[in-house]
């Protein structure tokens, strides 16, 4: 029984060996006898395990023991592929779905070559005779293993170093794009993604997670995964996947909140590429959540005046003492809503009330209430002035100057929303007063114009009545004269 079992196992092992690497492959037999690093690497290669001979890439007759016959060009021997011929050799199989599925039962994409040709790496190199990147640039030539194998140069943990072979070489990159930074790897290593990647965690984002693999496009290309409008979706591929993110103890609703925020609506619905995307606040390669100290600096890159006013306000010291994130405390982070008048004051729904609503005798409470009432007064006065302008326009009165002047009141309202961040009554009042002076002037001018319109109308009516009476009297007077 044991003899039969041993014989059975021997047959199976021989079958596996013969199916993965045929004994008649004289190319490998010869090169193995010679030895060398390529042979040892090839023994670990996925192609070796699939039974693909040296001739599969280099051409020739792998069944002949005669060197001249085996390396005959008539039998397709090409030697060491160079330039674009490297990728052409690879794509003989890797762009043929029939070969890859039926013969090797592989689930890889079959259009890598097409994707690479359209990518930024598929452009002509400085020599003008070949692509910038060939398959072996990233995957190696001999010793190619599955991307899921930790030994692969494109395994997630190894990929940043693989990309950095070119992208961290200042001399090399200068020949293609002098403006492109060459410190991406250093920045990446400071990020949360990079720190976890360096510890051997393959799940956090690396180069291909954001830029893609074969289909890498310039950041300004609308089809690029890192184009501003596409970037939130790229980030959400991981960050909205609760199952994928459950080991990291962070929320997975950021994309949902961002999409409904004032920033998300501007970017994703209105396609305003100047609106913030994920990287605008978190950074690109050095992606890391803004800390308590940095959040105002991040917001301040766009909202510069607001940040300057807040930095000199009494809230700055209070927020620092309580270690509160500055802008985020009142406006939120991913779910930032449009700033409206409802946020100011101490009424229900106002952010000032969160801290000062239960202290009506405090200076802060009174300041918030004063600023809200003063702003409301300008809104009311602007409404009255606009109503008078519209009324005058319907009556045919010239209103061009007053309508233009009223824009200054609207501007004062906009400025007051910024000036709120100073939390200074005198500065805020100065801004509002400019608008109130304008509305008062417009209201007065329009009231006078409308009164004058009615005065002229009544005057015309009375004059018309007097003329009519005189005309009738004259008519009857003439009739009496005619009768005589």
Angle at 277 between CA 293 and CA 331, to 5 degrees: 50
Contacts of 352 (CB under 8 A, 6+ apart): 343, 344, 345, 346, 364, 365, 368
Q: pLDDT tens-digit profile of 403-423?
A: 999 999 999 999 999 999 999
pLDDT given for residue 7 in this prediction: 38
Mean pLDDT of 362-366: 90
Mean pLDDT of 27-50: 87
Q: pLDDT tens-digit profile of 429-476?
A: 999 999 999 999 999 999 999 999 999 889 889 999 999 999 999 988
Which of 5-9, 134-138, 370-374 bottoms out in mean pLDDT, i.e. has the lowest? 5-9
- Can you give the residue ranges of every domain in the chain? 152-211, 350-474
Q: pLDDT tens-digit profile of 158-189?
A: 999 999 999 999 999 999 989 999 999 999 99
Label residue 109 by pLDDT band (50, 70, 90). Answer: low
* C-alpha span between 200 and 290 (Å, rounded): 24
Does 374 have pLDDT greater than 80? Answer: yes
What's the mean per-residue pLDDT of the chain?
88
DSSP notation for 274-339: TS--HHHHH-STT-----TTTHHHHHHTTSHHHHHHHHTSHHHHHHHHHT--HHHHHH-STTPPPP
């Amino acid at each position: 029984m044991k003899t039969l079992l041993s014989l059975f196992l021997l047959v199976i092992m021989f079958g596996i060996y013969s199916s993965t690497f045929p004994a008649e492959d004289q190319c490998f037999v010869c090169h193995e006898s010679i030895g060398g690093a390529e042979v040892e690497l090839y023994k670990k290669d996925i192609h070796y395990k699939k039974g693909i001979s040296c001739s599969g890439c280099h051409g020739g007759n792998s069944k002949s023991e005669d060197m001249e016959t085996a390396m005959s060009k008539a039998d397709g021997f090409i030697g060491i592929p160079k330039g674009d011929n490297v990728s052409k050799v690879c794509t003989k199989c890797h762009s043929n779905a029939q070969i890859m599925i039926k013969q090797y039962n592989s689930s890889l994409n079959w259009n890598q070559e097409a994707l690479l040709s359209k990518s930024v790496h598929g452009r002509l190199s400085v020599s003008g005779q070949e692509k910038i990147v060939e398959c072996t640039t990233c995957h190696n030539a001999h010793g190619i293993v599955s991307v899921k194998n930790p030994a692969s140069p494109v395994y997630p943990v190894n990929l940043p170093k693989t990309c950095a072979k070119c992208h961290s070489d200042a001399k090399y990159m200068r020949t293609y794009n002098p403006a492109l930074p060459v410190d991406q790897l250093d920045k990446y290593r400071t990020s949360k993604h990079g720190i976890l990647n360096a510890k051997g965690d393959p799940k956090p984002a690396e180069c291909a997670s954001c830029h893609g693999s074969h289909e890498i496009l310039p950041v300004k290309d609308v089809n690029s995964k890192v184009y501003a409008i596409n970037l939130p979706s790229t980030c959400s591929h991981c960050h909205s996947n609760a199952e994928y993110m459950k080991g990291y103890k962070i929320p997975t609703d950021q994309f949902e909140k961002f999409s409904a925020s004032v920033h998300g609506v501007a970017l994703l619905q209105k396609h305003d590429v100047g609106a913030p995307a994920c990287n605008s606040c978190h950074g690109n390669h050095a992606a890391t959540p803004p800390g308590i100290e940095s959040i105002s600096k991040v917001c301040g890159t766009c909202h510069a005046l607001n940040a300057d006013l807040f930095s000199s306000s009494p809230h700055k010291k209070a927020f620092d003492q309580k270690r509160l994130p500055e802008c985020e405390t009142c406006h939120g982070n991913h779910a930032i809503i449009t700033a409206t008048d409802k946020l100011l004051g101490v009424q229900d729904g106002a952010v000032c009330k969160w801290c000062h609503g239960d202290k009506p005798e405090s200076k802060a409470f009174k300041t918030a209430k004063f600023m809200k009432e003063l702003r409301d007064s300008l809104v009311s006065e602007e409404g009255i002035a606009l109503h008078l302008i519209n009324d005058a326009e319907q009556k045919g009165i010239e209103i061009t100057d007053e309508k233009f002047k009223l824009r200054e009141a609207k501007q004062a309202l906009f400025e007051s929303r910024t000036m709120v961040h100073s939390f200074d009554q005198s500065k805020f009042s100065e801004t509002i007063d400019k608008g109130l002076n304008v509305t008062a002037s417009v209201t007065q001018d329009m009231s006078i114009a409308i009164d004058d319109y009615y005065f002229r109308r009544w005057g015309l009516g009375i004059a018309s009545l007097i003329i009519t009476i005189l005309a009738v009297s004259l008519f009857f007077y003439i009739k009496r004269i005619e009768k005589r």
